[in-house]
């Protein structure tokens, strides 16, 4: 069998949350020059509601600085005056277990180099004239905005190793002052999140605080214990050079539909909840407040900040936006994100809060490719009066002119064992693929692809093979939510390996059979799959799109998109699904109308069966059949297909299972 090398694409988010906003935000890009060259100068984007241009914000900060020697404007009733402070905020988000190096750019990123660079930047931030010499106080904080791990081969190495996870060891070595809780932290359920956190240290004082104001973990025993010992908090105070810095966290209110928080309560009124925490800090005399949030898009943070007061800086996570300025070195192939107006996004962005104060908002691209660096000056009243010109993303590079060496401890304790595990997977050949298999993000989330068909067939195969053992009827059809297909690339013909199976299907989602699904409810499930807005060339890519097996269907994009709530209740019925036909010729839907008849059994993954990505199963009983969807894929290509994924069975573009009209 011919061999091939697969370039692993950057990972993205499990769901299509805020897809329209994120698509608009990243619709245009700027080409990035070769390694060692700098980003072009961004033009300040046209402000949207609640935002302001960088130039206007800087002017406002300068005016505030000039007022510092006069009466000025108090930021809060109980603010305590102290000394002026030059604070460097080092930050990242969406590391997502990319411990070895940046996907497709292995000379960049990697947790060992990230550790070295962050340590260098911390030291640089703290040096300078001391306050005792009449100079400005200098301090640094290190913050994460969430999605600190993600399913995949690297994290599977941690799961097989046990506590402490490799991610925990690496991140603990970096030394964070506080970490937000992202949606991917719950992908394996609350207990794995608790294991990840306890891996930072046996005692609470050895761990950084994990901060989220709108999550209540009281009903999950493993997380409740971490809440009780002060590890999981709504807010925290970090002391640097005698100054107190308040930190408030927030997690996407859509958590339940995009991950698996089980009995964690996700409170929806994020603005009011965050404001209460900011007010509590202000009441205690804390006059510098940073918001670290994982809301899935910088647009969400801009909207949130516009409804708050007393937040000085916001650090966003989940959107993977790359903000950059002229002269910033970027990882080859990276592109500066653009705003709704098509202009590149400079670092920082700004939003106008509820008191007409300009608040800087920053974020970075993920995968440990950059350390974000925001340098600000607070006056003695705790007012932010300046953003330093050296603020911006600092790339994590292993090549000149900005190369850093991997940290020896992290290299030895994390990178080397994880690399060995991944190498073993890459050497385990499961099948020969005769045709390129399309797992690119936009394709699998908007249309039928041959890789999508392969994975859906694997679910159907596993459901039928294991049904008798688990006492459930054999499934008639299978559905795989596109958000669970994660490799983000075309797998070229040649060896299909165990590593490929992990890259395609990395989550610990178990194949499940849902019996007794009425035909009308099955139509609602399909309406959910095709409910994303229409794009320029078809349906907009979304994680709730389905790859299917055992049937074919036709949908009309001009029809009414179905709307459901988080419980899967249909608020607005959809009219897009026109025909649904089982492989045996049985018609379930014709001309948009349900054909009366017997219910069907559906194979899917337990994430979707529980209502993830808003799949409206609405609490129907289901049975897991003993294998993850990754194992189902591996078994299917090796055993079900006899080790050959043929071009006849899996042609490019699929075989007409899903038709848009």
Q: Looking at residue 259, what is its pLDDT?
A: 86
CATH 3.40.190.10 at 89-418, yes or no: no
Strand partners, 551: 582
Q: Is the pLDDT of residue 14 over 90?
A: no
Q: Looking at residue 77, what is its pLDDT?
A: 41
Q: Looking at residue 139, what is its pLDDT?
A: 97
Q: Looking at residue 10, what is its pLDDT?
A: 38
Q: Which CATH superfamily is domain 428-660 in?
A: 5'-Nucleotidase, C-terminal domain (3.90.780.10)
Q: Is the pLDDT of residue 412 over 90?
A: yes
The number of C-alpha atoms within 13 Å of 127 and in the hemisphere containing its C-beta is 6
Q: Looking at residue 638, what is its pLDDT?
A: 98
Q: What is the rounded CA–CA span in Å between residue 220 and residue 186?
A: 12
Q: Is the pLDDT of residue 44 over 50?
A: no
Residues 13-40 have a mean pLDDT of 38
Write out pLDDT tens, residues 220-235: 999 999 999 999 999 9
Two tokens at 283? 């009441």
Q: What is the rounded CA–CA span in Å between residue 513 and residue 564?
A: 22
Q: Is the pLDDT of residue 12 over 80?
A: no
Task: Catalogue the long-range contacts made by 593-599 (C-beta closer than 8 Å, 24 or more residues apart).
Answer: 594/519, 594/520, 594/523, 595/519, 596/519, 597/519, 599/515, 599/516, 599/517, 599/518, 599/519
Q: What is the rounded CA–CA span in Å between residue 144 and residue 141?
A: 10
In percent, how much of the chain has pLDDT > 90? 80
Domain with CATH 3.90.780.10 in the chain: 428-660
DSSP SS3 for 592: coil
Q: Is the pLDDT of residue 642 over 70?
A: yes
Domain with CATH 3.60.21.10 in the chain: 89-418
pTM: 0.81
Write out pLDDT tens, residues 502-520: 999 988 899 999 999 999 9
| Region of poorest pLDDT, from 134-138, 584-588, 612-616 | 134-138
Residues 305-325 have a mean pLDDT of 98
Q: Is the pLDDT of residue 594 over 90?
A: yes
Q: Is the pLDDT of residue 604 over 50?
A: yes
Write out pLDDT tens, residues 457-507: 999 999 999 999 999 999 999 999 999 999 999 999 999 999 999 999 988
Our CA dihedral for 467, 450, 452, 12, rounded to 10 degrees, sits at 150
Instruction: Output the average pLDDT for the chain.
Output: 90
């Amino acid at each position: 069998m011919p061999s091939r090398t697969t370039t692993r694409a950057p990972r993205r988010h499990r769901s299509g949350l805020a897809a329209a906003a994120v698509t608009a935000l990243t619709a245009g890009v700027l080409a990035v020059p070769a390694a060692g060259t700098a980003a072009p100068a961004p033009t300040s984007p046209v402000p949207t509601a609640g935002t302001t241009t960088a130039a206007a914000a800087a002017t406002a900060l300068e005016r505030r600085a000039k007022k510092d020697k006069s009466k000025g404007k108090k930021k809060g009733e109980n603010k305590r005056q102290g000394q002026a402070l030059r604070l460097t905020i080092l930050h990242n988000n969406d590391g997502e277990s990319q411990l070895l190096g940046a996907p497709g750019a292995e000379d960049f990123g990697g947790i060992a180099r990230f550790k070295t660079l962050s340590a260098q930047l911390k030291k640089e931030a703290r040096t300078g004239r001391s306050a005792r010499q009449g100079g400005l106080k200098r301090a640094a904080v290190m913050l994460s905005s969430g999605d600190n791990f993600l399913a995949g081969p690297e994290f599977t190495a941690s799961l097989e190793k046990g506590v402490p996870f490799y991610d925990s060891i690496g991140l603990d070595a970096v030394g964070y002052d506080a970490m937000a809780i992202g949606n991917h932290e719950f992908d394996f359920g609350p207990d794995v999140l608790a294991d990840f956190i306890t891996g930072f240290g046996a005692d609470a004082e050895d761990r950084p605080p994990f901060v989220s104001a709108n999550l209540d973990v009281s009903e999950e025993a493993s997380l409740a214990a971490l809440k009780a010992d002060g590890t999981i908090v709504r807010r925290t105070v970090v002391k640097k050079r005698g100054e107190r810095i308040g930190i408030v966290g927030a997690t996407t209110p859509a958590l339940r539909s995009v991950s698996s928080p089980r009995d964690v309560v996700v409170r929806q009124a994020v603005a009011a909840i965050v404001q209460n925490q900011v007010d509590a800090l202000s009441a205690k005399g804390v006059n510098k407040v940073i918001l670290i949030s994982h809301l899935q898009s910088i647009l969400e943070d801009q909207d949130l900040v516009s409804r708050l007061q007393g937040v000085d800086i916001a650090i966003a996570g989940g959107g993977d936006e790359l903000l950059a300025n002229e002269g910033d070195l970027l990882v080859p192939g990276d592109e500066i994100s653009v705003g709704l107006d098509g202009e590149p996004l400079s670092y920082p962005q700004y939003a106008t809060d509820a008191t007409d104060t300009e608040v800087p908002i920053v974020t970075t691209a993920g995968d440990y490719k950059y350390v974000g660096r925001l340098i600000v000056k607070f006056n003695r009243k705790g007012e932010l009066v300046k953003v330093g010109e050296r603020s911006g993303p600092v790339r994590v590079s292993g090549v000149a002119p900005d190369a850093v060496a991997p940290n020896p401890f992290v290299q030895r304790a994390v990178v080397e064992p994880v690399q060995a595990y991944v190498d073993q997977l890459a050497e385990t050949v499961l099948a020969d693929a005769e045709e390129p298999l399309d797992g690119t993000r936009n394709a699998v989330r908007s249309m039928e692809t041959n890789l999508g068909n392969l994975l859906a067939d694997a679910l159907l195969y596993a459901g039928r093979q294991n049904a008798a053992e688990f006492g459930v009827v054999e499934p008639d059809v299978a559905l795989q939510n596109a958000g669970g297909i994660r490799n983000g690339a075309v797998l070229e013909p040649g060896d299909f390996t165990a590593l490929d199976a992990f890259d395609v299907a990395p989550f610990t989602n178990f194949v499940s059979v849902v019996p007794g699904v009425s035909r009308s409810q099955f139509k609602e499930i399909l309406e959910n799959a095709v409910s994303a807005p229409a794009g320029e060339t078809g349906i907009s890519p979304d994680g709730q799109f389905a790859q299917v097996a055992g049937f074919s269907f036709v949908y009309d994009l001009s029809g009414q998109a179905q709307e459901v709530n988080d419980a899967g209740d249909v608020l607005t019925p959809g009219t897009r699904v026109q025909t649904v036909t089982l492989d045996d010729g049985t018609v379930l839907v014709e001309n948009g109308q349900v054909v009366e008849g017997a219910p069907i059994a559906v194979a899917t993954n337990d994430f979707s069966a529980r209502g993830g990505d808003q799949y409206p199963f609405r609490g129907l009983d289901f049975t897991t059949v003993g294998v993850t969807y990754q194992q189902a894929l591996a078994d299917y290509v090796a055993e079900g297909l006899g080790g050959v994924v043929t071009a006849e069975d899996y042609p490019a573009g699929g075989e007409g299972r899903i038709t848009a009209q």
